[in-house]
Structure 1
Amino acid sequence: MTDTELVLANGRILDGCGNPWFWGDLAICNGRIKTVASAGTLKGVKVIDVDGRFVTPGFFDIHTHSDLSILVNRLAESAVHQGITTQVIGNCGMSPAPVNERYLDEIRHDWGRISTAPEVTWEWRSFAQYLEVLQSGGLAINLASLVGHGALRIAVMGYEERNPNSAEMRRMQGYLSKAIEAGAFGLSTGLVYPPGCFADTDEIIALCEVVAQYGGFYASHIRGERETILEAVAEAIRIGREAGVPVQISHNAPKYGAPYDATANLALVEEARRQGLDVTVDNDVHTDLGPTLMDALPQSILGRAVADIVSLLKDSNSRKSIRDEILRDSHPAFGPAGLLKHGRWDRITIYEAPRSRSVVGKTIEAIASDREEDPFDVYFDLIVEMGEKVSAIFDYIDEKNIRILLQHPAVMIASDGQVLAPHGFLNDPPPYCPCSYGEFPGVLERYVRDEPVLSLEEAIRKMTSFPAQRLGVMDRGVLRPGAWADIVIFDLDRIHDRATNLYPHTYPFQNYPHRFPEGIDHVFVNGIHVIENGEHSSSLPGKVLKHPLYRTSM
């Protein structure tokens, strides 16, 4: 047999499609898989003896927010170290393009601190220009993008809390068409965040009708994942039905305050699929989130400057109005806000408070007890004192629902994280984002090896071929001849997530600041060795993936 560039020999190969592993060799040539054969049969210019470790497709992370952080850390360190070779960005209604010069300040505000990083130049205006900026600087992993509904709205009407008029609707549809023609795979919404939460269902249907014309799909952070979760899932399904698009329901674990467990929302998905609607779900396995305290305030004020929000909280009448709006929840807020609504101050633990270090590691409940003050006032006072610099771990998901979702065949695994690194701008201060460092190793460690919920074969399917299938990217996420050589080699016995902190928390936190996982030994992206024996090679072989219709039209 003719020698090839590289052979991975004597591995336990999992093809990504749910089939049992088998002993085999795998040959790579020109960035693609050339051959998969019985162990010990292939020869190459270079041979890596896998020595019985598992060889799988690279992990395909369908829900991330690396749109800007990848510009800061093109090595994609936190992602590739956990075996991720492809990320989907543009989720939850947020994408950095298109940009209307008139509303540049608004979209930068939407992205928060990351928008101020020196590497985030905002030199682009169109979606095509943004994708070119991504590719031209080099990438360690592949990226596929959705266009965010929030970005479309901001480009046309800023943060205005109203329905678009007919001319504005046509402009949003025009921006959307150009984005998909540039390579976007579809549309995402974030219907608990401003400005997306101000849109009605008909607005989303009208935009998804454009997506349908291009064969794209609709991904949604639905309109409430707590008390209104069933109505919100039903709305997403209705949008798919009426617009004629496949639907991806994002991170769909019920959050604190939901009246039912995950079997109820999954029943709606099952019924839709019985009716012939292509509806699927993704979810991560972390029960917590680490936002700023400010992020859980009502959407009606989140578009304002930090100083303006602080001024409102200093005024007793405005403070009362904000508290009342949190309790009313008239625009269902994002998941962690449910802890405020239901008074679960024991599940909000401060981890970053630069001007008040004595509160770090304490819950809002404990701080309120120490100060003999109302927990709402303590929460608001911390924001007044430190603005957007005070952050907490919100433990807002019942782990039982994670297990229910993991076992359902229509649910794929995602991180809901972003590219991070343990140095530089992205680590100053260290963010609390365990999914960005340990999502996929954590699944393998906790839910496959130690407390089995999934077989290894099914877990790998949910991490690889299933999300690739959702995007219509059929030459990734599988180990077969002709597919791109995005590959992970890991030792299941040694896999260890060093980022997750299970509830209830102790302080100092066990895995914060986060560290890279153990047991992910080799990662190849488009046939290039990016992680070699656990170390980053500094290679940048990643590609900006584009919608299949874009590829066939070129």
Structure 2
Amino acid sequence: MGVKIKYKVFCVGAVLTLLFVAACTHPAIKADILIKNGTVYNGMDTVPSIVDIAVKEDKIAYVGSAGKVQINASKIINAAGLTVSPGFIDPHTHATNDLVNENLSDNKPFLFQGVTTVVVGNDGSSPYPFVKYAAKCEEHGVGTNVAVFVGHGTVRKMVVGSSDRKATQQEITKMQKVIRAEMDAGAFGMSTGLFYAPGSYSDTDEIIALAEVVAETKGVYDTHLRDESTYSIGLIPAIKETIGIGEKAGLPVHISHIKCLGVDVWKQSDSIITIIEAAQKKGIQVTANQYPYNASATGLQAAVVPRWAESGGRDSLVVRINTTGQRTKILEETKINIARRGGPKTLLIVQSPNKLYEGKNLEEISEIHNMPPEETVFKILEDGYAKIASFNMTRYDIANFMDEPWVVTGSDGGSGHPRKYGSFPRKYNTYVKQDSVLTTAAFINRSSAVTADILRIPNRGKLLEGYFADIIIFDPATFMDKATYEDAFKLAEGLKYSIINGKIAIDEGKYTGQKNGAVLRKKQEKGV
């Protein structure tokens, strides 16, 4: 009997020893950073998980349960109570000039929103040539990753000029060669600004011919629609034009930024969603981005001055406005365009060489000068470029578009509008926490992984092993925008950590001073 008891004790001890040895012999990972105890949204799933994430050099080395591996890390981040997410990808920004300015290239306005990758070269206006721009960014470093579109308007101005006319076949061939060279250099696609001059002077056939070159290199067509209101062809026809370009050129089309701008088109979002989803069922890849504000931002001239009057550039506009017959016509059409935007009260000057105008709307400035709003526009423009915030969208359309799985977050961030500093946290605060339009997972997925897939940016936007380590950690209770229309230059709050390409850019809410971003280049291999 005693022998049996001893034998059982021996067996139990042996098993415990084996279990102990097994526990001590879990696969070991040597990492630079270990993130543990956080609520992890991986960019794909609809519910979060509690997993550890290990970062080695610029990649994610491990995602999984803490008990399955032994991780030895130089830095451990305890993310208990915090949200861990893929870094956000902003598909539409105007950070182009900031990134080549050594003093601004840290890209803090976007960095503190949780953005780890920005796209520049939007609205048909891009840096040129790509290789020169990339070299400048890399010379002093950039705070976020940057991807570049080649701008149709930039190329058209080089080849055709600023005149309101169709391009010849010879000119189209030249533009195709320029666009092909920029795509081969690493651009992710072509952008158009068909609402703006000189893009507005092109016809659909020209865009299709150029988009076909982009399709050959597996790129994306990104467009500011020809009309977001009733300026020219109308909003719905402009949507249909974009879909037609995608269908005929054989490439994905991305609308920047989907909206119903002005009283004439309010509540057309239902019809637009129906049209786009019908096109998707036909196999046409149609997506869009959207910023979470009811005010757009653009130049005062672009917003209300008729396009035909701009043909030939600023000097030509000045001549026309000072020519009696043309002046009357220009002022009449400017008045109509002001009404389209909701009237002079809705046009707030946010940037002007004349600081007297900043913070005042067009009606207030008209009263100062004692002249009609349409004449006041040209008085303001005498001092140079003026930027406006235009309050012309309804919450109904904003929320309606936002709820669609093919609509992602984009800031359209440029100086003077709070969206440059606040788009992503504002969307989280207002439309996730406050109004419940989106779940946290939907917000994160459509700010990271979905965007990466749309733009064909490989190995980013998801928390997966082998992917680049672009990771953010924010406090769900305090992650919020602080920028307002009165003070548009306040950094967002609540972002605790930002890791870009495996290196920490924001540590415990403070910028480390490290510019960890990279200039991304579109690879031309088949299927990428």
Normalised-by-shorter TM-score class: 0.7 to 0.9
- Work out the CA distance in 2 between the residues paired with 1:468 and 1:235: 25
Instruction: Find out whether 1:377 has 2:375 as its counterpart.
Output: yes
SS at match of 2:125: coil
Aligned to 1:268: 275
Do the aligned partners of 2:34 and 2:75 also contact (CA within 8 Å) in 1?
Answer: yes
Q: Could you tell which deviates more after superposition, 151-160 or 26-35? A: 151-160
Instruction: Find out whether 1:538 has 2:522 as its counterpart.
Output: no
Q: How does 1:66-465 map to 2 (within 5 A)?
A: 66-72=95-101, 73-97=104-128, 126-227=129-230, 228-256=234-262, 257-258=264-265, 260-296=267-303, 297-302=305-310, 309-310=317-318, 312-313=320-321, 316-326=324-334, 338-341=337-340, 344-352=343-351, 355=354, 357=356, 360-368=358-366, 373-384=371-382, 386-388=383-385, 390-418=386-414, 431-465=415-449
Q: CA deviation at 1:62?
A: 1.0
Aligned to 2:53: 26
SS at match of 2:476: coil
Aligned to 1:122: none
- Work out the CA distance in 2 between the residues paired with 1:206 and 1:304: 24
Do the aligned partners of 1:473 and 1:548 also contact (CA within 8 Å) in 2?
Answer: no
Summarize deviations over 1:514-541 as a string: whole Å, max 9, x none. Answer: 2101101110110110111222112122
Aligned to 1:504: none
With normalisation by structure 2, the TM-score equals: 0.87
One-letter code aligned to 1:432: G
Do the aligned partners of 2:164 and 2:312 also contact (CA within 8 Å) in 1?
Answer: no
- Work out the CA distance in 1 between the residues paired with 2:400 and 2:113: 24
Q: CA deviation at 1:140?
A: 1.5
Do the aligned partners of 2:267 and 2:396 also contact (CA within 8 Å) in 1?
Answer: no
Summarize deviations over 1:190-228 as a string: whole Å, max 9, x none. Answer: 101111101111111111111121111211111101121
- Work out the CA distance in 2 between the residues paired with 1:154 and 1:307: 16
Structure 1 residue ranges without an equivalent (≥5): 98-125, 329-337, 419-430, 502-508
Do the aligned partners of 2:37 and 2:79 also contact (CA within 8 Å) in 1?
Answer: yes
SS at match of 1:457: helix
Aligned to 1:113: none
Aligned to 1:523: 498
Question: Judging changes above 3 Å, is the alpha-carbon distance between structure 1 residues 46 and 368 closer, same or farther for their aligned structure 2 residues?
Answer: closer
Question: Judging changes above 3 Å, is the alpha-carbon distance between structure 1 residues 39 and 400 closer, same or farther for their aligned structure 2 residues?
Answer: farther
- Work out the CA distance in 2 between the residues paired with 1:250 and 1:352: 22
Question: Judging changes above 3 Å, is the alpha-carbon distance between structure 1 residues 26 and 151 closer, same or farther for their aligned structure 2 residues?
Answer: same
Q: CA deviation at 1:451?
A: 1.9
* Structure ID, larger Rg: 2
Instruction: Find out whether 1:56 has 2:85 as its counterpart.
Output: yes
- Work out the CA distance in 2 between the residues paired with 1:153 and 1:486: 35
One-letter code aligned to 1:394: S
Do the aligned partners of 2:33 and 2:56 also contact (CA within 8 Å) in 1?
Answer: yes
Question: Judging changes above 3 Å, is the alpha-carbon distance between structure 1 residues 305 and 208 closer, same or farther for their aligned structure 2 residues?
Answer: closer
Q: CA deviation at 1:440?
A: 0.5
- Work out the CA distance in 1 between the residues paired with 2:481 and 2:121: 26
- Work out the CA distance in 2 between the residues paired with 1:75 and 1:496: 20
Instruction: Find out whether 1:468 has 2:452 as its counterpart.
Output: yes
Question: Judging changes above 3 Å, is the alpha-carbon distance between structure 1 residues 345 and 47 closer, same or farther for their aligned structure 2 residues?
Answer: same
Summarize deviations over 1:28-49 as a string: whole Å, max 9, x none. Answer: 0011111112257644121111
Question: Judging changes above 3 Å, is the alpha-carbon distance between structure 1 residues 279 and 393 closer, same or farther for their aligned structure 2 residues?
Answer: closer
Q: Count the aligned residue pairs.
A: 492
Do the aligned partners of 1:449 and 1:492 also contact (CA within 8 Å) in 2?
Answer: no
Structure 2 residue ranges without an equivalent (≥5): 1-27
- Work out the CA distance in 2 between the residues paired with 1:452 and 1:552: 37
Q: CA deviation at 1:260?
A: 4.0
- Work out the CA distance in 2 between the residues paired with 1:552 and 1:236: 23
One-letter code aligned to 2:210: L
Aligned to 2:65: 38
SS at match of 2:191: strand
- Work out the CA distance in 2 between the residues paired with 1:74 and 1:356: 26
Summarize deviations over 1:250-272 as a string: whole Å, max 9, x none. Answer: 10111003264312212111000
Q: CA deviation at 1:373?
A: 3.9
Question: Judging changes above 3 Å, is the alpha-carbon distance between structure 1 residues 456 and 339 closer, same or farther for their aligned structure 2 residues?
Answer: farther
Q: CA deviation at 1:355?
A: 4.6
Do the aligned partners of 2:348 and 2:360 also contact (CA within 8 Å) in 1?
Answer: yes
Q: CA deviation at 1:299?
A: 2.6
One-letter code aligned to 2:213: V
One-letter code aligned to 2:334: I
SS at match of 2:159: helix
SS at match of 1:194: coil
